[in-house]
Structure 1
Amino acid sequence: MSHDTLSDVLRTVRLRGALFYRVNGSRNWAAEAPPAREIADAVMPESEHVMEYHVVTRGSCWGAIVGEAPVRLECGDIILFPHGDAHVISSAPGMRAQANVAGLSERVDQLPFTLNLDAVEGNGDMPCDERYETGLVCGFLGCDLRPFNPLIDTLPRLLHLTSTGGQDWITHFMHQAVAESRSKRPGGEAMLERMSEMMFVDAVRRYIDMLPEESRGWTAGLRDRFVGRVLALVHDDPAKEWTVEQLGDRVGLSRSALHERFLEMIGLPPMQYLLNWRMQVAATLLRNTNATVGSVALEVGYASEAAFVRAFKRVVGKPPAAWRREKARGAHATHGR
Structure 2
Amino acid sequence: MSTDVLSDVLSAVRLTGSVFYDVSARSPWVAEAPPAAQIANEVTPGAQHAIEYHVVTSGSCWISLVDCGPFDPVRLNEGDIAVMPHGDPHALSSTQGMRAEPVPEIYRRPEDDNALPFMLHTGTEGPAETHLVCGFFSCDVRPFNPLLDSLPRFMRVGRNTSNAPGGLLDQFIRFATAETTSKRAGSQSILNKLSELMFVEVIRMHMDTLATDNTGWLAGLRDPLVGRVLALLHARPARAWTLEDLAAEAGASRSAMTERFSHLLGCAPIQYLTRWRMQIAARRLADRSAKIAAIAQDVGYESEAAFSRAFKKTVGQSPSEWRSRLS
Q: 2:279 matched to 1:280?
A: yes
- In the TM superposition, 1:110-121 aligns within 5 A as 110-118=115-123
> Residues of 2 paired with 1:80 and 1:226: CA distance?
30
- Specify the alignment match of 1:214 in structure 2: 213
Q: 1:86 aligns with which of 83, 89, 93?
A: 89
**Which consecutive segments of 4 or more residues in structure 1 shift more than 4 A?**
none
Deviation of 1:210 (Å): 1.0
- Specify the alignment match of 1:77 in structure 2: 80
Deviation of 1:106 (Å): 6.7
- Specify the alignment match of 1:264 in structure 2: 263
Deviates more, 1:139-148 or 1:191-200: 191-200
Deviation of 1:184 (Å): 2.1
For the Cα contact (< 8 Å) 1:216–1:264, is it kept in 2? yes
Change over 3 Å in CA distance of 1:99–1:20 after alignment to 2: same
Which amino acid counterpart does residue 13 of structure 2 have in structure 1? V
> Residues of 2 paired with 1:326 and 1:98: CA distance?
33
> Residues of 2 paired with 1:75 and 1:181: CA distance?
16
- Specify the alignment match of 1:105 in structure 2: 108
> Residues of 2 paired with 1:101 and 1:295: CA distance?
41
Secondary structure of the 2:92 match is: strand
Deviation string, structure 1 residues 159-198 (Cα, Å, up to 9, x no partner): 1112223221323322332333333221111111111111
For the Cα contact (< 8 Å) 1:239–1:302, is it kept in 2? yes
Which amino acid counterpart does residue 265 of structure 2 have in structure 1? I
Q: 2:158 matched to 1:162?
A: yes
> Residues of 1 paired with 2:244 and 2:222: CA distance?
21
- Specify the alignment match of 2:291 in structure 1: 292
Which amino acid counterpart does residue 95 of structure 2 have in structure 1? A
Which amino acid counterpart does residue 121 of structure 2 have in structure 1? N
Deviation of 1:99 (Å): 1.1
- Specify the alignment match of 1:333 in structure 2: none
For the Cα contact (< 8 Å) 1:59–1:135, is it kept in 2? yes
For the Cα contact (< 8 Å) 2:44–2:109, is it kept in 1? no
> Residues of 2 paired with 1:306 and 1:165: CA distance?
54
For the Cα contact (< 8 Å) 2:40–2:50, is it kept in 1? yes
- Specify the alignment match of 1:250 in structure 2: 249
Deviates more, 1:222-231 or 1:173-182: 173-182
Deviation string, structure 1 residues 231-276 (Cα, Å, up to 9, x no partner): 0000000001111111111122222221111111001111100000
Deviation string, structure 1 residues 96-155 (Cα, Å, up to 9, x no partner): 112121222273751112211116x9xxxxxxxx94111111000000011111000110
- Specify the alignment match of 2:32 in structure 1: 32
Secondary structure of the 1:93 match is: coil
- Specify the alignment match of 1:335 in structure 2: none
For the Cα contact (< 8 Å) 2:229–2:246, is it kept in 1? yes
Secondary structure of the 1:160 match is: strand
- Specify the alignment match of 1:334 in structure 2: none
Which amino acid counterpart does residue 123 of structure 2 have in structure 1? D
For the Cα contact (< 8 Å) 1:52–1:139, is it kept in 2? yes
- Specify the alignment match of 2:8 in structure 1: 8
Deviation string, structure 1 residues 67-121 (Cα, Å, up to 9, x no partner): 42111111111100000000011112111112121222273751112211116x9
- Specify the alignment match of 2:175 in structure 1: 176
Which amino acid counterpart does residue 44 of structure 1 have in structure 2? T
Deviates more, 1:7-16 or 1:131-140: 131-140
- Specify the alignment match of 1:124 in structure 2: none
For the Cα contact (< 8 Å) 2:168–2:201, is it kept in 1? no
Q: 2:140 matched to 1:144?
A: yes
What percentage of residue pairs aligned between the two structures are identical? Answer: 49
Deviation of 1:55 (Å): 0.6
Secondary structure of the 1:72 match is: strand
Q: Taking structure 1 as the reference length, what is the TM-score of the superposition?
A: 0.91
Superposition CA RMSD, Å? 1.7
Deviates more, 1:97-106 or 1:44-53: 97-106
> Residues of 1 paired with 2:224 and 2:151: CA distance?
20
> Residues of 1 paired with 2:235 and 2:288: CA distance?
20
Structure 2 unaligned regions, length at least 5: none
> Residues of 1 paired with 2:107 and 2:321: CA distance?
33
Deviation of 1:46 (Å): 2.3
> Residues of 2 paired with 1:24 and 1:278: CA distance?
45
Change over 3 Å in CA distance of 1:111–1:283 after alignment to 2: same
Change over 3 Å in CA distance of 1:238–1:168 after alignment to 2: same
Deviation of 1:27 (Å): 1.9
> Residues of 2 paired with 1:104 and 1:323: CA distance?
27
- Specify the alignment match of 1:190 in structure 2: 189
Which amino acid counterpart does residue 114 of structure 1 have in structure 2? M
Which amino acid counterpart does residue 39 of structure 1 have in structure 2? I
- Specify the alignment match of 1:230 in structure 2: 229
Secondary structure of the 2:3 match is: coil
For the Cα contact (< 8 Å) 2:278–2:314, is it kept in 1? yes
Structure 1 unaligned regions, length at least 5: 122-129, 330-337
